[in-house]
Structure 1
Amino acid sequence: MEEMAFVKIRVFVTVAMLLSSTLTGCHLESRNPPTSKTLQVSMDEVSKRSTITQNVTLGVGNTLKLQLGSNYSTPYRWAADAKIGDTGIMQQTSHQYVAPSTDALGAPGSENWTFTALKPGTTTISTNYSSFVGKNTPPVCQYSVIVTVQ
């Protein structure tokens, strides 16, 4: 009889420990967002929409990567230095053009930026897709991302 009670207690303790570790793991997982997030906009979207706005939430120290469709076979480019509303919250660390993976004439590539989250807060990062030919040409597409750093 005592042995049966001991087995029941042991099973109860084991189940309690498993539930506790599972619940703790889920709780901690939700508090630690991924260290890097990537937002993408295809060249098809860029050519069809004049304004594109996205939202993202990051943790302090996390990296945001933007990949915006771009076609260097045309005179249009994204502004390399993105406008950051509050440079104390986010910092641009890189920008580069990535050529298309095909040899097809006129195929689009992408322009890629990397940003680092510096401190908690909310800010906006924006850039414009416009022609470098001519003076004061209006952008054909304006991109913005609202960034919340926790």
Structure 2
Amino acid sequence: MSDKPRDCERILAHSASAIRPLIRSPVNHLPAHIRHITGMHFGWWTDGPIHLHHRTEGKALRPALTLLACQAVGGDPEQARPATVAVELVHNTSLLHDDIIDHDPVRRHRPALCAVKGIAAAILAGDALFFAAVRALAEAPTPSSPSLSSWRASSN
């Protein structure tokens, strides 16, 4: 991200284009059955013909805020990519579980995963996304930032 001020729409579009390809990697490392149902939640594929008339992906607000927060403290947004992935995966965990709790039949203008595959599958997909988020952070290199280094030194 550059230092130039930009409008919200451009910031969201930039973060969405940066994060969407990165989300697929942790999902692709899931066991095949879980990978399939998780991909259904994201709208990457279906079990049958579904006509999508609306935008099917989220706005990527949380990844944008993560990247902007990193930049605000002097960090390199490239180093924040694992955190953006984790934030988005945890958010999608909450969406899956929220649909179950609220008995929502629709998510992002298509059938909710719990409505298509059942509650157990949706819980399993949500839990898999949560642990994929933890793994993304655990395997990420430790970020470096002048602000972070000075904060660590002052907090000791």
Instruction: Report TM bin, short chain.
Output: under 0.3
Q: TM-score, normalised by structure 1?
A: 0.27
Q: TM-score, normalised by structure 2?
A: 0.26
Query: Quick check: which has more Rg, 1 or 2?
Result: 1
Structure number having the greater helix percentage: 2
